Structure 1
Amino acid sequence: MTGDEAARGRSHAAPTARPAAAAAAHPVLLPVAAVVAGILSIAVGTSLSKGLFPRVGAEGTTALRVGFATLLLLAAWRPWRRALTRRDAAAVALYGIALGTMNLVFYLALRTIPFGIAVAIEFAGPLCVAALSSRRALDLVWIGLAVVGLGLLLPLGDASRGLDPAGLALAAAAGIGWALYIVFGQRAGRLRGPDSVALGSAIAAALVIPFGVAKAGTALLAPATLMAGLGVALLSSAVPYSLEMYALQRLPRQTFGVLLSIEPAVAALAGMAFLGESLVPLQWLAIGCVVAASIGSAASA
């Protein structure tokens, strides 16, 4: 709007004002679209993954998801084509450990609390990243709104009644992993680019597969289970993590962190559609707060 008003006052600049504005918008719109597409993909994939819990448990499901995702990402990016320096290896290792831990404890949380609420609690991680990275007063407004929504879902709020405390604690632990995923992922992406996703996923797989084998054993090798695990890996890991790495390299850290707050709403809708989960009005209000924070952050990026 400001650029258009300025153009009206200077008629000679009018022919180039709109193309310039459109060109300036693309660097923000494309990574924002990548984050949204990744959120939709991971919501559907994670909803479907709960169907694997009775067969191989949360640990086995995590192993299948991360293991298959690693194979897909290695084939897509072929990171061995570039030499891995000691500095790169350290950055990728931290990214992979955060990625593996986040996946494992989040799936453990899904055993006892609804999908949408688990994501909302997990969002405490990126919320902290956004708060610590903020340099503008307007960012603090959106962060504050997200805090209100998160506070309604914590054990002190009425919306948390009837929720398993262990599940809430595991979701909070996943939030710590998510925060570290953002911080370490951004650094690894700057050093290695997109192939850091494949390398980080390989480290995550090495971390979580032993837990899956200990829990499920040979049940992991059943053909139907392997096919389901491959689908979950595509939707929940390979596609969204690649999209998020693209966005991490192009968005401010606080904007990326708060933008992800639409995920609880998407997860709650996916839980209703695929898992038959339902939320009380106060829980929907909490999710609405973080969604509003996300819209505000994206609009002011």
Structure 2
Amino acid sequence: MTTAAPAPRTTSPGAAVAMVLGAAVSVQVGATAASALFPSVGAVGAAALRLLLAALVMAVAVRPRVLRWTRRQLLLSAAFGAVLAAMNTSFYAALTHIPLGVAVTCEFLGPLTLSALLTRRRRDLVWVVLALAGVVVLGLGGDGEGGALEPVGVLLALVAGACWAGYVLLSARVGAAVPGQGGLAVASVVAGALVLPLGAATAGADLLHAHVLLLGLAAAVMSSVLPYSLELVALRRLPERTFGVLLSLEPAIAALVGWLLLSQGLPLTSVLAIAVVVVASAGATAAASRGQVPADPGLATHARPLDG
């Protein structure tokens, strides 16, 4: 009796690591593309356009058969979409007030706090305290131009982080209730539909200009389609713990992208504060991956929102 040989693994661990890091860079470059839309359509208009275009791509790619879904599946996906809408809108609004690296660092407090709380071990709250200390120092460091960080921008980034924590919890429930990526596809459509009226009210016909549509498409591809594809392949070769630790580098990557593409320099104190948050995030991820969190990949890796 013979058995079929296992399929060869075509992606090396090193290539998988590069894919995760590439996905993180792609998300932040997508954020810079979206920020380029702010002068034309505002933060809400940019969020509406990016969400809607990402939803179209997801819907065409996945083609969810919603007519066969139960009421629970529809409600969970709709709630998922509402969280996506709030997360994207608040994050983009934050970018109009504070640098990209600062916004992403503050946003990370949401999933980090959730991960630490779900470990059910008090000592893991140390990671949250460490991250909070980093954010406090980040605020003291200012905006890199001699001025203080705008409190409204920090608050909006923290709201986005809270929505990210909600995304983590809902992604587990939607993933269990809806097979494949149908839940995410429907959630993306719901998110786009929720934000579109606000975007249309603030930007109007400017949303239909050719350069605006092109930038919106670039933001959608760079922030959703490309990183999702890269991470899907990488997750087949990397342990969840490694994947989560790599995602923890995102605040540092955001600060670097902001510096290179948006000329958003940060003082040394802010750079050190971001490093502290990265360490705290990696520590929380490692603790979660040791089996202290209920068995769900999204919780173990912070489930970075691919539409966020």
Where on the TM-score scale, by shorter chain, does this alignment land: which range? 0.7 to 0.9
Asked if residue 112 in structure 1 is aligned to residue 110 in structure 2, the reply is no
Question: What residue in structure 2 maps to residue 187 of structure 1?
Answer: 173
Cα deviations across residues 208-240 of structure 1 (Å, max 9, x unaligned)? 111110111001111121111111111112344
Q: TM-score normalised to the size of structure 1?
A: 0.79
Q: Is residue 203 of structure 2 the alignment partner of residue 196 of structure 1?
A: no
Name the SS for the 2:155 alignment partner: helix
Q: Deviations over 1:147-177 (max 9, x none)?
A: 33233235xx455761111111111111111
Q: What is the RMSD of the two structures over their aligned residues, measured on CA atoms?
A: 3.3
Q: Which residue of 2 aligns with 1:148?
A: 133
Structure 1 position 130 matched with structure 2 position 115: yes
Partners of 2:115 and 2:285 within 8 A in 1: no
* Cα distance in 1 for residues equivalent to 2:169 and 2:234: 13
Partner of 1:281: 268
Distance 1:68 1:49, change over 3 A: same
**Contact 2:33–2:216 (8 Å) recurs in 1:** no
| Structural mapping, 1:58-77, within 5 Å | 58-77=43-62
Checking the alignment, whether the CA contact within 8 Å between 1:259 and 1:297 is kept in structure 2 is no
Q: Which amino acid aligns with 1:115?
A: L
Pairing partner for 2:86 from 101, 114, 123 = 101
1:124: Cα distance to partner?
Answer: 1.7
1:168 paired residue number: 154
The yes-or-no answer on 1:52 pairing with 2:37 is: yes
CA displacement at 1:35 relative to structure 2 = 5.5
| CA shift in 2, pair 1:295/1:33, >3 Å | farther
Which stretch shifts more, 283-292 or 144-153? 144-153
Give the whole-Å Cα distance in 1 for the aligned partners of 2:274 and 2:70.
42
**In 1, Cα distance between equivalents of 2:67 and 2:265:** 48
CA distance 1:137–1:40, shift in 2 (3 Å)? farther
Structure 2: gaps of 5 or more residues: 1-8, 290-308
Give the residue type in structure 2 aligned to 1:286. A
User: What is the rounded CA distance, in whole Å, between the counterparts of 2:176 and 2:239 in structure 1?
Assistant: 12
Cα deviation, residue 50, structure 1:
1.1
The 2-side partners of 1:188 and 1:247 are apart by 22
Return closer, same or farther for 1:255/1:135 CA change in 2, 3 Å cut-off: farther
After TM superposition, the score normalised by the length of structure 2 is 0.77
CA distance 1:30–1:124, shift in 2 (3 Å): farther
- Give the partner amino acid of 2:186: L
Cα 1:147–1:32 shift into 2, 3 Å: farther
* Greater alpha carbon shift after TM alignment, 235-244 vs 206-215: 235-244
Aligned residue for 1:79, secondary structure, equals: coil
Greater helix content: 1
CA distance in 1, matches of 2:234, 2:71: 25
Contact 1:46 1:232 in 2 (8 A): yes
Distance 2:191 2:227 in 1: 15
Q: In structure 1, give the amino acid aligned to 2:222.
A: L
Q: C-alpha deviations, 1:170-215, integer Å up to 9, x for none?
A: 1111111111111111211122132211111011011111111011
Q: 1:221 to 1:206 in 2, by over 3 A?
A: same
Gaps of 5+ in 1: 1-22
Answer whether contact 1:116 1:265 (CA < 8 A) is retained: yes
Larger radius of gyration: 1
| 1:75-97 deviation digits (Å, cap 9, x = unpaired) | 11111277211111121111111
Residue 52 of structure 1: CA displacement? 1.0
The answer to whether the 8 A contact 2:85-2:192 is kept is: yes
Alpha-carbon deviations, 1:15-44, whole Å to 9, x = none? xxxxxxxx9xx9x99998775443222111
The residue aligned with 2:253 is: 266
Aligned partners of 1:126 and 1:258 also within 8 Å: no
- Does residue 87 (structure 1) correspond to residue 72 (structure 2)? The answer is yes
